[in-house]
């Protein structure tokens, strides 16, 4: 199902989910940058909204554990950044990316969008409905992020699941030896009573994206 009204979609979340303290005791730590990876879509899908589990108006959802992935885009002082373009992309439940060079093409989930975009609101918030990430090949489960500035890539990173057993073996994640820096990329994925997962991944930028 397409998400045509951002305000309506966000209204189901508790207000505390995006609360920002009025005063920060210190400057926030910047989110660690990471490589884009080889599988940013080489051909973007026609549907690039923030609901990745349904493509266009298809009634068939993708395979996987539904996850509400939210967060805020902030500067180092904790101020929210509005009208920032957030992109995410990830493999489907069978380990296939929306990319011609990805593995498992014969198992690709045609009902998984694989890529989404969201323009942040006035309080810097974003929201995606997607699936809980899965391991593939020699990589631990993760979701790729990009921030666009003036239509160009300004920042890239990856989001990981707290406590996931293969995190310690992941070659890209292991390159970050500073534990505090690594912690900026790892967040808990909580399973709700409904069976849907929720995760909150805030991104702190060391610059202010140019929006025009």
Residue 3: half-sphere exposure toward Cβ, Cα within 13 Å = 20
Of 54, 72, 97, 129, which is the active-site residue? 97
Q: How many CB atoms lie within 10 A of CB 135?
A: 16
Instruction: State the Cα angle at 97 between 91 and 102, rounded to 5°.
Output: 130
pLDDT confidence of residue 188 = 98
Selecting among 54, 96, 129, 142, the annotated active-site residue is 142
C-alpha to C-alpha distance for 115 and 144, rounded to whole angstroms: 9
Residue 97 appears among annotated catalytic residues = yes
Residue 144: active-site member: yes
Amino acid 194: pLDDT: 96
CA torsion sign for 13, 40, 114, 157 is negative
Catalytic residue list contains 40: no
Distances (CA, A) of 56 to 46, 139, 141, 174, 206: 8, 29, 26, 37, 35
Cα 140 versus chain centre, distance: 15
Sequential pLDDT tens for the chain (212 residues): 445 444 444 445 555 545 555 454 479 999 999 999 889 999 999 899 999 999 988 889 999 999 999 999 999 999 999 999 999 999 999 999 999 999 889 999 999 999 999 999 999 999 999 999 999 999 999 999 999 987 788 999 999 999 999 999 999 999 999 999 999 999 999 999 999 999 999 999 998 887 64
Active site residue 197: no
Domains of the chain: 6-12+47-203 (2.60.130.10)
Residue 143, SS3? strand
Tell me the CA end-to-end span of the chain in Å, nearest whole number. Answer: 31
Which pLDDT value is given to residue 5? Answer: 47
Catalytic residue among 139, 145, 160, 197: 139
**Which tokens in the block code for residue 145?**
């992020």
Active-site residue flag, 136: yes
CB of 76 closer than 8 Å to CB of 133: no
Start-end of H helices in the chain: 6-10, 171-174, 179-183
Q: Whole-prediction pTM value?
A: 0.86
């Amino acid at each position: 199902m397409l998400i045509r009204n951002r305000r309506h979609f966000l209204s189901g979340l508790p207000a505390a989910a995006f609360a920002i303290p009025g005063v920060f005791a210190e400057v926030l730590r910047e989110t660690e940058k990471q490589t884009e990876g080889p599988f940013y879509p080489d051909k973007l899908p026609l549907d690039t909204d923030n609901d990745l589990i349904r493509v266009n108006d298809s009634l068939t959802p993708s395979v996987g554990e539904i996850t509400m992935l939210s967060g805020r885009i902030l500067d180092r002082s904790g101020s929210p950044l509005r009208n920032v373009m957030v992109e995410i992309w990830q493999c489907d439940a069978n380990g296939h990316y929306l990319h011609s060079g990805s593995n498992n093409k014969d198992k690709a989930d045609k009902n998984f969008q694989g890529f989404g975009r969201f323009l942040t609101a006035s309080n810097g918030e974003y929201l995606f409905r997607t699936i809980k990430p899965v391991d593939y090949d020699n990589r631990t489960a993760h979701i790729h992020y990009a921030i666009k500035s003036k239509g160009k890539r300004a920042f890239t990173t990856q989001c990981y699941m707290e406590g996931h057993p293969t995190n310690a073996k992941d070659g890209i994640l292991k390159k970050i030896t500073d534990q505090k820096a690594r912690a900026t990329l790892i967040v808990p994925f909580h399973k709700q009573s409904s069976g849907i997962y929720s995760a909150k991944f805030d991104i702190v930028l060391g610059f202010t994206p140019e929006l025009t």
